[in-house]
Structure 1
Amino acid sequence: MAGFEIHRATKRRAKLRLGMSGPAGSGKTYSALLIAGGLGGRIGMIDTEHGSGDLYADLLPDGYDVLQLAPPFTPARYIEAIHALEDAGVQTIIVDSLTHAWSGEGGSLDRQGKIADKSGNSWQAWRQVTPEHNALVEALLQSRCHIIATMRAKTEYVQEKDERTGRQTVRKIGLAPIMRDGIEYEFTTFLELDLHHMAFAGKDRTRLFDGSIFKPELDTGRKLLTWLDAGVDAPVKRTVADEEKTGMLQAISSADTLDDLFKAFSSAYRVATALSDTQTLAELTSLKNERKAWLEAQNEEQPYDIAA
């Protein structure tokens, strides 16, 4: 039947897509760094938590790099930060925290609210914001690096009876991640951390942590790496066709606003990354930077900056 491709299921080598959520104090940053250390290679952290990324500078023998991301926390700026770390040659990117892209200043909820207030149409506002959020998810999934993304969890206080004393005690628990509903399903593995720094795999396609409660450590990363590397290499992919490449470059060079430039570059970047076409990626990035500089020179008052 034309239009369908059927193939034998084959486990291929892959890059890690790990999500982690937990309330404040659950050790998300610390745990993410330990797992990244177990994966090996150069580590880069996107830090939105006011410099918390530097607090563990002595945790790993080989250290790690930090990209400080300040407001506005638009999905576009997250994507630029991811690209910057990829271009810098890191093997693992820690996004700490992804929550700001949703509920932080300039995040999707903030942008949706402002657009709705201006237009009076909440549904139309989501039509504009949702593609931006989806582009960020795609950047995480298509990255050539391992990705570890932390998220704050909604918290709730429950009253329990202490079995030893008989007294009522109050305990803080973490609930769903503060992010768009369903974000857990985008990751290969999703860990939920509690205030004792213990992790439970709410979702785990690797089946390494099924039913277990554990404290993340270097060996956690090593176990994940073994699973990720246990497979065949993906088939060599083709380069971007000349006609398609010309259209990408033309869309970038003719962008009239920074927002149009981001959309054109993001779309082209996903195609080139999916094909592992590094030459085209380099050309796209170079042209994007040239067009961005030109647009900024035309309007120095432009408040929306797509650069990290």
Structure 2
Amino acid sequence: MIRFIPVSEINDPLTIALGLSGGSGTGKTFTALRVARGMAQKMTGKHGAPIGYVDTENKRALHYKAAFPEMHHFDFTAINEAGDLVGFGPERWIEVIDAAEAAQMPVLIMDSFSHAWEGVGGVLDLHAQVLDRLVQQAQARANGRYEVDPAKFSQLAWAEVKPRYRRLIDRIVRAKTNIIICTRAKPVMQQGFGDKAKNARKTKTRREDVPWDPASDGDLMFEMTAMIILDPIAPGCPVHQIKVADQFKGLFDRRKPMSEETGAAMAEWAAGQGGANAQKETMDHAREQARAGTDAFTAWWNSDDGKAARPVVRPIMDEIKALCADADAAAAVSDDVPFGRSDEDHGDQHDGADQVREAA
């Protein structure tokens, strides 16, 4: 039976899925543990609340066991106790989340989730196995009468593998525990040098100003509550903020490492507490002022309300600047002139046309 529930009757805390990606030396593990500690303590109200840790990287998290004695560690390997190769397939990760919920872990760290994508038995490996099987079947049907093109079977292979991975992503989104997902990131090939350097190849998920690619499914980052790519220039700092809702933008200072305070503040938001929603309202009000142009925004910025809002608005100042510039440009266009061209522009165009005719 379908029942629509008034939100006033829904008091269960939300859950958080935080994505942290970065190359070697960016502080993923330590940062994840600090943020998880803040989340767990705020969620439970207990100092030393347990943190579940899924470790695929040869027990690397145990390097921090003295600093984080509340860690509950699971050594997630591609080989089981019997010595059989079981890999890092989607179903095994779902079992891990099920176990964390059964153990009532307030926070679960999965490090490195890149194994689910590119590890043994991961999605790319599964795709290769399915593709090989489909090609062999096609070759058997051809029986030498024609040559089989493996590329024609790639999409069929994805159609078999992707639903399994999608079930894992859906399990993460619907988890009853908070999850921090750590993935490796690889440098994006660059073209050009110095200030003119830019990413060599665009994709639907790659931003031009971020020179790193997470070693995971490109769509995974958009399923996160927040997605951060760390950079070696500032370990632990949220340098590249791929997906950050307004409620969290005040928490992520690109110059300051994420910490227990970050996790606690996110947990407050999830519990419906804290001032995250009020901060979003302030940011939206600032955007409305910016849409009126630079002069209007400056007047508001220097008003009593604007001065009080400055700490909240500063994280989105690049966006505010762009909105002001768009508004200024729109205000400079006369409604009496078609195609957004001023009389002076028309004069220049006529002069140019006359010069072309004279030259001819």
Q: Which runs of 4+ in 1 moved over 6 A?
A: 3-12
Structure ranking higher in helix proportion: 2
Superposition deviation, residue 146 in structure 1: 0.6
Q: 1:189 touches 1:206 (CA, 8 Å); kept in 2?
A: no
1: CA distance between counterparts of 2:54 and 2:105? 12
2: CA distance between counterparts of 1:227 and 1:103? 33
Matched, 1:192 2:200: no
Superposition deviation, residue 5 in structure 1: 6.3
Structure 2 equivalent of residue 33 of structure 1? 33
Structure 2 equivalent of residue 50 of structure 1? 58
Q: Secondary structure at the match of 1:181?
A: coil
Matched, 1:70 2:107: no
Superposition deviation, residue 206 in structure 1: 5.1
Superposition deviation, residue 156 in structure 1: 4.3
Q: 2:110 touches 2:180 (CA, 8 Å); kept in 1?
A: yes
Structure 2 equivalent of residue 59 of structure 1? 67
Structure 2 equivalent of residue 230 of structure 1? 272
Structure 2 equivalent of residue 148 of structure 1? 180
Question: Rg bigger for which structure?
Answer: 2
Superposition deviation, residue 186 in structure 1: 0.2
- Gaps spanning 5+ residues in structure 2: where? 42-48, 79-86, 136-152, 196-209, 274-360
Structure 1 equivalent of residue 155 of structure 2? 123
Structure 1 equivalent of residue 277 of structure 2? none
Structure ranking higher in strand proportion: 1
TM, length-normalised to structure 1: 0.64
Q: Secondary structure at the match of 1:110?
A: helix
Superposition deviation, residue 124 in structure 1: 1.7
2: CA distance between counterparts of 1:18 and 1:117? 35
Matched, 1:177 2:214: yes
Over the aligned positions, Cα root-mean-square deviation in angstroms equals: 2.5
Q: 1:153 touches 1:174 (CA, 8 Å); kept in 2?
A: no
Q: 2:110 aligns with which of 89, 95, 101?
A: 95
Which has the bigger relative contact order, CA under 8 A and spacing at least 6? 1
Instruction: Report the number of matched residues.
Output: 217
Q: 1:145 to 1:8 in 2, by over 3 A?
A: closer
Cα deviation per residue 1:215-257 (whole Å; 9 max; x = unaligned)?
11111111111111126xxxxxxxxxxxxxxxxxxxxxxxxxx
Q: Secondary structure at the match of 1:59?
A: coil
Q: 1:44 to 1:6 in 2, by over 3 A?
A: closer
Q: 1:154 touches 1:177 (CA, 8 Å); kept in 2?
A: yes
The one-letter code of the counterpart of 2:263 is G
1: CA distance between counterparts of 2:99 and 2:253? 36
Cα deviation per residue 1:29-83 (whole Å; 9 max; x = unaligned)?
11000000111231101111111121110223x4211111111011111111111
Structure 1 equivalent of residue 282 of structure 2? none
2: CA distance between counterparts of 1:206 and 1:225? 15
Q: 1:53 to 1:156 in 2, by over 3 A?
A: same
After TM superposition, the structure 1 stretch with the greater mean CA deviation from structure 2, 179-188 or 148-157, is 148-157
Q: 1:22 touches 1:174 (CA, 8 Å); kept in 2?
A: no
Cα deviation per residue 1:90-148 (whole Å; 9 max; x = unaligned)?
11000101111001111000110111011122222111111111111011111111110
Superposition deviation, residue 212 in structure 1: 3.2
Matched, 1:216 2:255: no
Structure 2 equivalent of residue 111 of structure 1? 126
Q: 1:65 to 1:149 in 2, by over 3 A?
A: same
Q: 1:89 to 1:36 in 2, by over 3 A?
A: same
Q: 1:115 to 1:16 in 2, by over 3 A?
A: same
The one-letter code of the counterpart of 2:176 is R
Q: 2:188 touches 2:213 (CA, 8 Å); kept in 1?
A: no
The one-letter code of the counterpart of 1:184 is M
